[in-house]
Amino acid sequence: MSDIIIRKDGRAGLITLNRPKALNALTWDMCLAIEAALDDWRTDHLVDLILIDGAGDRAFCSGGDIADMYASAQRRDFGYGQRFWRDEYRLNRKIHHYPKPIVTFLHGFTMGGGVGIGCHASHRIVCDDSRIAMPECSIGLVPDVGGSLILARAEGYLGTYLGLTGDRMDAGDAIHAGFADHYIAAPSWEALKSVLITTGNVAAIQPSPPPPSRLKDWQKAIDAAFGTPDLTDIRTKLAAQGGTLADHALPLLDYNAPLAMAVAARIIGAVRRDPRIETALDHEFRYTFRCAAQGDFIEGIRAAIIDRDRSPRWQNYTDDDITAMTAPLGKDALIWEDAT
């Protein structure tokens, strides 16, 4: 069985992530296959729009398949992850700039690498079981795949909150935070897909009013606590606030990798000042290029999926460590060979 199903039907190009037992986790080959399809369909006059969905009932895409990165790092082969991220980030940028509508159906879990595939699309649809998150700091990574752009564009300091805590958004939250556009109940999805395939016209998307957003209700308290890049200040402000937000956020901050959170706050701030996907990917790659050799990423994978003890041993960090992880990469930096 193929990990990805790519075909044309009617006026649409169709991409289905097809690893339901692995929650449609994204492999390197899947990234390359999606990119090749998008390149082919860019100038195909028979394709008016693209539909991307995930097989099974649990996830659109739960993230990148990181087990191979752990194995390669154990061999001291840090180039494997660096090459994977170069190709993945190129795909994220292409989706963001794609000249034809891309409609993504974000059921179940959409996390990490799934955000890079699903949330840079032009039309992003969620339903009642949608759960969207950027939990990278929990494995010693930073929000990447261009996700720092969406975080930077979120209202107030909501993006800093989501990036540092990795909190999960439901449909209402995802729309409020800018990770999704439309709420449509899942039983209506297949009929909508059929109309889109037949007509090639995104005007067929007729959303319902979104559910309420918990994060919208918390917005004022989030802005008051997360308007600083300093983790100690954030914790102090949350503790002083008390209440539901503090009770929810502090355990998440206590679990996540301190260095990753400190860098994530810097990245989101930098992209807030220059909100382009190229800026986001450039800053993210500075960290991911180095994270296996210098950061906590390998320890985070060990604790999460290798030993599964959920007891990562994070390193302490200094301002010099932040500088080392965020410095420009020079000749190793991402290079965009075309305008789109």
Under CATH, which number does the domain 4-332 receive?
A: 3.90.226.10
List the chain pLDDT tens, one digit each, 340 residues.
699 999 999 999 999 999 999 999 999 999 999 999 999 999 999 999 999 999 999 999 999 878 888 888 888 888 889 999 999 999 999 999 999 999 999 999 999 999 999 999 999 999 999 999 999 999 999 999 999 999 999 999 999 999 999 999 999 999 999 999 999 999 999 999 999 999 999 999 999 999 999 999 999 999 999 999 899 999 999 999 999 999 999 999 999 999 999 999 999 999 999 999 999 999 999 999 999 888 899 999 999 989 999 999 999 999 999 999 999 999 999 998 764 4
The residues near 303 (Cβ < 8 Å, ≥ 6 apart) are 139, 309, 310, 311, 312, 313
Distance CA 208, CA 184 (A): 6
What are the extents of the domains in the chain?
4-332
Burial class (CB in 10 A: 0-12, 13-18, 19+), 311: exposed
What global pTM score does this model have? Answer: 0.96
Which residues are 5's β-sheet partners? 16
Chain centroid offset of residue 162 CA: 11
